[in-house]
Amino acid sequence: MSLQVGDTVEDFTLPDETGTERRLTELLADGPVVLFFYPAALTAGCTAEACHFRDLASEFEAAGARPVGISGDTVEKQQEFAGRHTLGMPLLSDTDGTIRERFGVKRGFTLAPTKRVTFVIGQDRTVLEIVRSELRMNTHADRALDALRAAKG
């Protein structure tokens, strides 16, 4: 089962790239969260996608939202990814795939078990927008910003 726009996301806790446990409700305390699932840290496509989120940091800030990356990579790999590209956003480590499964973004084959899908989550944990695109990396951050601006109205 995959989440749809209008659904409520169940709270969850995962370690970020520093090993610090992060709860979704805490991440939402200051505003909406743009949770972007990506297949694998340090790969070309995921790097392009994450760097685009990074490059738009001030626009997300203006929209009152925060991007948060999530993949099945280990904490150490996320740390390397964040450091190498100065991403400046939490990168959550979903190594056992529990959250990936809950969001319905699990892929059948194991090389890249996570689909590239972005969820814009409002402060009440409601899904405001879902961006699905495996090949157009920039579309994730761009469409998330459009949804956030529309929601602010």
Q: Exactly one of 27, 33, 40, 46 is catalytic; name it.
A: 46
Is position 51 annotated as part of the catalytic site?
Answer: no
- Give burial (CB, 10 Å; 0-12/13-18/19+) of 135: exposed
The residues assigned a catalytic role are: 46
